Homo-oligomer: A and B are copies of this chain.
Amino acid sequence: MDRKGILLVVSGFSGAGKGTLMKELVSRYDNYALSISATTRSPREGEVDGREYFFRTKEEFEQMIADEALIEHACYVGNYYGTPRAYVEEQLALGRDVILEIEIQGALQIKKRFPDTLLLFVSTPDAETLKNRLIGRGTESLDVVEKRLSRASEEAEGIENYDYFIINDDLDTCVTQVHQIIQGEHSRVSRNLELINTIKKDISKFQKG
């Protein structure tokens, strides 16, 4: 079967638990590579440069844009976020499925440039759960929480541009779902045209007449 890597872009409401979901997926199964974004936002407590994000100054980030070292970048709640190109291309070439966690603007940029990309949207079961998770996290001021909620309602408008939609209610179920989505996609006819043509040619020797 097709063993070219699949590029999966994961978006979703801030507070939907994308980060935990992706970390669990990568630790539970082989063959996934998690891309680390670059950002100009400040590290939250416990975040480490090169693990959660590459933390960069505005000047450094703009230099990366100029060098075309990012496959997408966007501005979100006043900060830059972007995806370093080298890692993604390396891992895909090795046949690994690469996962990017980025917001909707960046997701659509990537889908346009790489149409084979899968777009996955992660939601909480409902709006109340989302609000409670953001407040419960306690890492941001109420002002930022409100900005994120307002932003969530804008992002919700774009869900129809995604390929898959999952609800992160139970982490375990959700990790299995994402795994099934990606692995199932490897068997798409459109991802296996080379193999199909080889078999068609091979089998055509049985044609009568």
Contact = CB atoms under 8 A, between A and B. Distances in A.
Interface of A: 1, 13, 121, 123, 126-127, 130-131, 146, 149-150, 152-154, 156-157, 159-160, 162-167, 177, 179-185, 187-189, 192-193, 195-196, 199-200, 202-208
Contacts of A184: 164, 177, 180-185
Given A152-B206, A177-B184, 19 more contacts: A127-B202, A127-B203, A127-B205, A127-B206, A149-B206, A156-B204, A157-B200, A159-B189, A159-B200, A160-B189, A164-B184, A164-B188, A165-B189, A177-B187, A179-B180, A180-B180, A182-B184, A183-B184, A184-B184
B183 A177 contact: yes
A112 to B, nearest CB: 17
Nearest to A167: B1
Contacts of A185: 184
Please report whether the interface of chain A is mostly helix, strand, loop or mixed according to DSSP.
Answer: helix
Contacts of A183: 177, 180, 184
Given A127-B205, A150-B207, A156 B200 contact: yes
Contacts of A196: 159-160, 165
A121 B154 CA distance: 40
